[in-house]
Structure 1
Amino acid sequence: MPDFSVIIPCYRDEKKLHSLLKQLQRMPKCVNEIIVADGDSSITCRDICNAGGASWLPCLPCRGQQLSTGAAIAQGDVLWFLHADARISNNAFTAMKDALQRGAIGGYFTFRFDVPRQWPARILEPAIALRCRFGVPYGDQGLFILRKSYFAAGGHAPWPLFEEVPLVHGARRLGSFAALREHIFVDSRRWQRDGWWRRTWYNRKLALKFACGATPDVLAERYQ
């Protein structure tokens, strides 16, 4: 089993981070380190990291910069990028190890909404899988990549949104970027709050504007 460095960007999401760190503590002993890149430089976040066996790294509140800053100090053979509100499966490390042994340089997990799930989730999840096949999986799908390949691919862009797009394109030029069947469970609170179809349409509009040349900084202001 290769050594993994887990890198988690966090911004005022300490409750979810605490839950994720507890999950990681129960995983097989292949985690070399956990780095939490805190965009709020919160003392509460620092205390949660200390209690959860993670290194606390205060950063600017920009997800792309948080991720690249964490990756720059990571020492593991494999970098695994997780959002603070993710829930991971018990077989996550085995799935990644198997993909790497088959020759992949990295990959991503299958998107699945966490509970409480409503009926639109059964439609949106296959649509997201199709988007990933022909487009780009986003950071909430637990991207992982060999450390040397991460830097060869150019790393994360220093953007607040769509920071993983250049990385995934670069990784796919280097080798196989595997789509794992194993699920990663994505927090559904934004869809619950805004409405499933309204949130989905809003996300698609952002992606379309990005594809048409809008800058991530401008889009991030609208996203907030």
Structure 2
Amino acid sequence: MHLSNGFQLDQNARLSVIIPVFHDTRPLLDLIDDLKPLGRLVHEIIVVDGAQDASLDSLLSANHVQLFRTNPERAGQMNFGAQQASGDILWFLHADTRLTKETVSDLVNFIQCPKTCWGRFNVHLEPSGFLLKIVAWFMNHRSALTAISTGDQGMFVNRVAFNRVGGFPSQLLMEDIELSKRLKRLSRPFIPKSHIITSSRKWQREGIFKTIFTMWYLRFIYWRGASAEQVHRIYYRRKSQ
């Protein structure tokens, strides 16, 4: 593996899946089941628990999953998982993500692509509906135009490139956006034609239009120079209203 004239990976590159969790037991087990068909491509699955959930120990050991515990901060959890990983590619997934059968070939295509060091998937929101299909369409096209990814899009990255940009920044929100900004200075993202499935529970619980407005507003003020701490305070103040 090298990054001198490109981002060529060995054809036998190993994939480390890193999943930060916080009280996500049921969807996490479904995701682990989805990862099993990837076979040898997945070198290891690393779960980083921020909730100190004792019930995970026996559940994950039965599935040959490595479990670590840290403070409940997503950027810190993912960075910690990356430090424990030994794979050539780091794949960061949310616990409520579900995979599709095209995932294997898409990741193999990434391994064989010498011009890019990172990527993300398009998303499909489920349970879905007319408005949520429009939301997913805008999420995917915005990300394609800006080369900025969010965590629910299943970001994957060459570990050398991840280390080169310093991993996820230590901040409470927008860590995925900031990592994307750093990585796109190295290359454009690899975007598979297929999608992964992301839970729409947050959109349904908090309201579709309210969630759209809140997320676009937060990204706008962050782009205008608000700190991640300010964005975090505004987000949780709005969420409690």
TM-score (norm 2): 0.87
In the TM superposition, residue 162 of structure 1 has moved relative to its aligned partner by 1.1
**Residue in structure 2 matching 1:61, options 46, 68, 72:** 72
**Residue in structure 1 matching 2:182, options 163, 166, 170:** 170
Q: Distance in 1 between matches of 2:29 and 2:235?
A: 25
- Partner SS state of residue 141, structure 2: helix
CA deviations 1:32-58 (Å, max 9, x no partner) are 111111111211223322122211110
In the TM superposition, residue 84 of structure 1 has moved relative to its aligned partner by 0.6
CA deviations 1:130-188 (Å, max 9, x no partner) are 21023311011000011111111221111232112232122222223212211011100
In the TM superposition, 1:33-52 aligns within 5 A as: 33-52=44-63
Query: Aligned residues, how many?
Result: 223
Q: Distance in 1 between matches of 2:30 and 2:140?
A: 26
Paired letter, 2:64: G
In the TM superposition, residue 222 of structure 1 has moved relative to its aligned partner by 4.0
Instruction: Report the equivalent of 2:28.
Output: 17
Q: Flag the 1:51–1:132 CA change in 2: closer, same or farther, 3 A.
A: same
* Structure 1: segments with no counterpart, 5+ residues: none
Bigger Rg over Cα = 2
Q: Distance in 2 between matches of 1:139 and 1:60?
A: 18
Q: Distance in 2 between matches of 1:46 and 1:157?
A: 29
Q: Distance in 1 between matches of 2:80 and 2:140?
A: 29
Equivalent pair of 1:23/1:88 in contact (CA under 8 Å) = yes
Q: Percent same amino acid among aligned pairs?
A: 29
Instruction: Report the equivalent of 2:133.
Output: 122
CA deviations 1:13-32 (Å, max 9, x no partner) are 11111111111123222111
TM-score (norm 1): 0.93
Q: CA RMSD in A?
A: 1.6
Range with bigger deviation, 150-159 or 65-74: 150-159
